[in-house]
Structure 1
């Protein structure tokens, strides 16, 4: 690599666990692009200094942003994409042609990507049960509301769930409920779900390594539902295993991870990633 090789980063605290360099590096190699994508450990106290140093580096083209910087970085940027402004969170910063730092949020695109085929079909009704009220839930609520879903958002604090719906999905008859509601079995008889699409999403850290499991009884899911867990460690969570045991299709957290990375990659390097190699990439990620 030359001294002027374009370079992008992923920043956070911690950051050693990030799979982003592996994903972006894989695509760069496949496309033969001479560029770098590396992890940079940045604490909250170092964030402003990091941005100043990056702006002064002619090689730097942008950064992906992980916790705890998704909100804190906003005042350090010049412009926000409308979705990032709506969500109040940035996970991708790009240096524009005029030198301005522009903040984006690619989480919504990433979450929706594995659903694009089914969402391209006509449905009489769409409903999503979203479990969690954190930052990821914000992107998911906004995205699914725009896709015509009726939403049921469940959290430990139903008032917070209601506030998210009022802010991000003010149109439609959406519902806020306690997360505990889904922990116990139900004998509810679902109506005919033909031509309907139902989605159950774990948008919380429950089930992630070091966190308690997510208590969800699959009797609450209509026939034909799809289970989607954004957790990536472990990749095959108990939530997904229980869903498969109950006969439901599943989507794991790498789908969203790769999807949001694909949107960021094109913003950084000016070309879409070579998605025909997704199977090979998944083998590397899960090795």
Structure 2
């Protein structure tokens, strides 16, 4: 804040008053007022009317100059900026660019995440081109490319190899691609961040795609009580159930096309149902009961039709954004790799 101390002749102030206005021009980028051109002393001195019963009244008016803000996290995109792309189809709904770019800014990383609308038919060609972009740090991968990306990477991290899905790719200096998956850690971290411990829960998981695979494996690792996987394509649900069972044979697990009767204490929507207003909810409303947890992987809208109905039934609702928030740092550090220490 800027301040002005006005010094006047006390005798003159007793004699009169006038409504004078002094403008201070302040920049948001500095706490000091900007320099103003000199003015003749008579323009700054308040006029004193002849009447002695008036009071001097000086009004201070603060004029704030708001500089244009850059949307790049470090202020300026230069030739040294590391590029990161996020691949999706559709892409307008994604929330990752806002959050990861904010993380880049807070960490002081000279990097920027940009959305890339890529269809399934063009994915392979884009990945081949990405290998040749020398200033590309990596890629964030989302619907519908997570499973397809596993066969396009040169190496897979532990989570990606186990789940069969990739949501982050690091480009190595020689152009090779390392794929990993942080969705599971993000989902469980999001639950814990809201005070929800998945241990012992009887879980209904809707979906069998890339996000569902990561979430299913992560919940199995947390020693849930049981797991039912429901998917419109029952074969895909069964394949995921078998894969989880091979790694966690002690977990009671089943696959179905239609929801099992329950009861469940945790329902997770890992499908894309809920992104559109016209979408039906992915589980039968009869399964919703007071006290249970209903969690989303859909991030936009923040409150899906499923969460609205669950809340009306007295369920604890868990928004999809928590899954993203809990893995932002993991994603950022992974896609930058060794470049982060150079920022």
1:63 aligns with 2:134: no
Which ranges in structure 2 are unaligned for 5 or more consecutive residues? 1-76, 339-343
Contact 1:9 1:38 in 2 (8 A): yes
CA–CA distance in structure 1, aligned partners of residues 242 and 266 of structure 2: 21
1:140 aligns with 2:223: no
- Among 289, 293, 309, which residue is 1:242 paired with? 309
CA–CA distance in structure 2, aligned partners of residues 206 and 120 of structure 1: 25
CA separation of 1:164/1:249 partners in 2, compared to 1, >3 Å: closer, same or farther? same
Q: 1:103 deviation in Å?
A: 0.4
CA–CA distance in structure 1, aligned partners of residues 133 and 232 of structure 2: 44
Q: 1:264 deviation in Å?
A: 0.8
CA–CA distance in structure 2, aligned partners of residues 85 and 91 of structure 1: 12
Q: 1:99 deviation in Å?
A: 5.1
CA–CA distance in structure 1, aligned partners of residues 292 and 317 of structure 2: 9
**Could you give the per-residue CA deviations for residues 35-91 of structure 1, whole angstroms, max 9, x where no partner exists?**
211112334444344333333222111011223332333333221112212222211
Q: 1:22 deviation in Å?
A: 1.2
CA–CA distance in structure 1, aligned partners of residues 98 and 122 of structure 2: 25
CA–CA distance in structure 1, aligned partners of residues 221 and 272 of structure 2: 24
CA–CA distance in structure 2, aligned partners of residues 254 and 203 of structure 1: 13
CA separation of 1:41/1:258 partners in 2, compared to 1, >3 Å: closer, same or farther? same
Q: Determine which structure has greater relative contact order: mean sequence separation of CA pairs < 8 Å that are 6+ residues apart, divided by chain length.
A: 1
Give 1:73-88 correspondences, 5 Å limit: 73-88=149-164
Partner of 1:10: 86
SS at 1:179 equivalent: coil
* Higher radius of gyration, 1 or 2: 2
CA separation of 1:45/1:159 partners in 2, compared to 1, >3 Å: closer, same or farther? closer
How many residues are paired up? 257
1:268 aligns with 2:335: yes
**Could you give the per-residue CA deviations for residues 78-110 of structure 1, whole angstroms, max 9, x where no partner exists?**
211122122222111002466531001121112
Q: 1:234 deviation in Å?
A: 2.2
CA separation of 1:137/1:71 partners in 2, compared to 1, >3 Å: closer, same or farther? closer
Contact 2:131 2:176 in 1 (8 A): no
Contact 2:85 2:114 in 1 (8 A): yes
Contact 1:130 1:200 in 2 (8 A): yes
Segment drifting more, 57-66 vs 91-100: 91-100
Contact 1:127 1:199 in 2 (8 A): yes
